[in-house]
Copies of this chain bind each other. A is one copy, B any other.
């Protein structure tokens, strides 16, 4: 009987693994996911700020990879002994090889008030909620239903996600000056980071660039500022300072889903500690944001798409080798550099050779890479059209609205 490979998660890691296995054609590949689409998560912040329609970052996954079956469902139980998984609706799927690639979700790190008062940005529904709140607040203030202070936005977390959403909110606020001339100058955005600088995983010079460019866009950046607790309209820092906010966006941390910690030892982000071949059992592979893997220096690999994709290719190749009875070499991460965009023609990019870019050059590299990796041709065309328009029409016309 043909080897059955079951992949849980249709993200960057799971889909890359499936594509590579399907090309060989000698195993049965099934992907399970609770959504019928691949989410292009690195662009969620653009949906959250009205730059792109949701459809542009959700690529239908059914029939997307010839030869790969798709099952939509929520996995509630994994039985490594019985070699099966159970879905929420009771269906049971059997496997010979299991690839675990469910990604990560937002985490509050136990800070009081975050769950109740802050918006997170890990899926389309959450990004839509941020967009609706940002735009609706202008409507409400204009109509007198909310005070002008409601236009203040606080973003918590100075990693790439926090930097990107802060820059995009800043640009959104500037563009709103035309549509709401009487109130829009009351809007502000403050980025709060607990550590000593933004983009801690980047070089200090890139961190400094990011801070300067955000400030040029009009954002306030507060480093060494840990959040103590939050309320509906206030963020309280450990220093005692209180930041009033109509919208609070939490971009301070992600973690693997807690429910899979039962499968083995985990780190503080619930990531499963895996062997150097990304396994937790002979026929069970874990990859992407779920897997705790360290680089040569002993640091855990970042939870980003390029790591997941490399691991997806590695696991596909390793399954093939195992089938042929060959020895499996340990996974080696190839550093692809890192990047964060700050705004239009503002970004920081670090290449693996140590080269650092910022400004327009960096922004264009960011743009090209993201367009290149967008899953579907249709989405690529739409995104290019939207970005092109945002770029050439900057400041000419209104471009987003509250659709209810």
**A interface residue numbers (CB < 8 A to B):** 35-37, 53-56, 58-64, 72-73, 89, 124-125, 139, 142-143, 145, 178-180, 376-378, 381-382, 384-386, 388-390, 393, 396-404
A125 touches B54 (CB 8 A): no
B389 touches A378 (CB 8 A): yes
Enumerate chain B residues within 8 angstroms of A63, measured Cβ to Cβ.
Answer: 178-179, 398
Enumerate chain B residues within 8 angstroms of A384, measured Cβ to Cβ.
Answer: 385
A62 touches B382 (CB 8 A): no
Task: Name the one of B53, B73, B389, B396 contacting A143, with C-beta atoms under 8 angstroms.
Answer: B73
A400 touches B60 (CB 8 A): yes
A378 touches B404 (CB 8 A): no
A378 touches B382 (CB 8 A): no
Chain B's nearest CB lies how many Å from the CB of A296? 39
Assess A377 versus B393: contact at CB under 8 Å? Given A58-B403, A89-B143, A178-B63. yes
B388 touches A381 (CB 8 A): yes
Assess A401 versus B53: contact at CB under 8 Å? Given A72-B142, A389-B382. no
Chain B's nearest CB lies how many Å from the CB of A24? 22
A378 touches B401 (CB 8 A): no
A60 touches B378 (CB 8 A): no
B378 touches A36 (CB 8 A): no
Pairs across A and B, CB under 8 Å, 13 listed: A37-B401, A37-B402, A53-B382, A58-B403, A62-B179, A64-B398, A73-B143, A376-B397, A377-B393, A378-B399, A381-B385, A382-B385, A382-B389
Residue with the highest number of chain B CB atoms closer than 10 Å, among A59, A125, A145, A403 = A403
Known: A53-B56, A381-B389. 17 other contacts (CB 8 A): A35-B402, A36-B139, A36-B401, A37-B403, A53-B54, A53-B382, A54-B403, A58-B401, A60-B179, A60-B401, A63-B398, A73-B143, A89-B143, A377-B393, A378-B386, A384-B385, A385-B386
Assess A60 versus B399: contact at CB under 8 Å? Given A381-B385, A382-B385, A404-B125. yes
Enumerate chain B residues within 8 angstroms of A37, measured Cβ to Cβ.
Answer: 401-403
A382's nearest neighbour on chain B, judged by CB, is B385
Cα(A291)–Cα(B36), bound, Å: 45
Enumerate chain B residues within 8 angstroms of A124, measured Cβ to Cβ.
Answer: 403
Cα(A142)–Cα(B71), bound, Å: 9
Task: Name the one of B59, B376, B403 contacting A55, with C-beta atoms under 8 angstroms.
Answer: B403
B381 touches A397 (CB 8 A): no
For the complex of A and B, the 4 pairs showing the least CB-CB separation, nearest first, are A385-B385, A53-B53, A60-B398, A60-B401
Enumerate chain B residues within 8 angstroms of A73, measured Cβ to Cβ.
Answer: 143
Residue with the highest number of chain B CB atoms closer than 10 Å, among A60, A72, A178, A378 = A378
A399's nearest neighbour on chain B, judged by CB, is B378
Cα(A64)–Cα(B55), bound, Å: 25
Assess A397 versus B377: contact at CB under 8 Å? Given A55-B403, A143-B72. yes
Chain B's nearest CB lies how many Å from the CB of A149? 20
Enumerate chain B residues within 8 angstroms of A389, measured Cβ to Cβ.
Answer: 377-378, 381-382
Cα(A344)–Cα(B78), bound, Å: 46
Chain B's nearest CB lies how many Å from the CB of A198? 31
Cα(A179)–Cα(B62), bound, Å: 5
Cα(A290)–Cα(B113), bound, Å: 50
Cα(A54)–Cα(B54), bound, Å: 9
Cα(A122)–Cα(B331), bound, Å: 55
Assess A378 versus B393: contact at CB under 8 Å? Given A72-B143, A139-B72. yes
Enumerate chain B residues within 8 angstroms of A404, measured Cβ to Cβ.
Answer: 35, 125
Chain B's nearest CB lies how many Å from the CB of A171? 15
Assess A62 versus B377: contact at CB under 8 Å? Given A143-B89, A382-B389, A403-B55. no
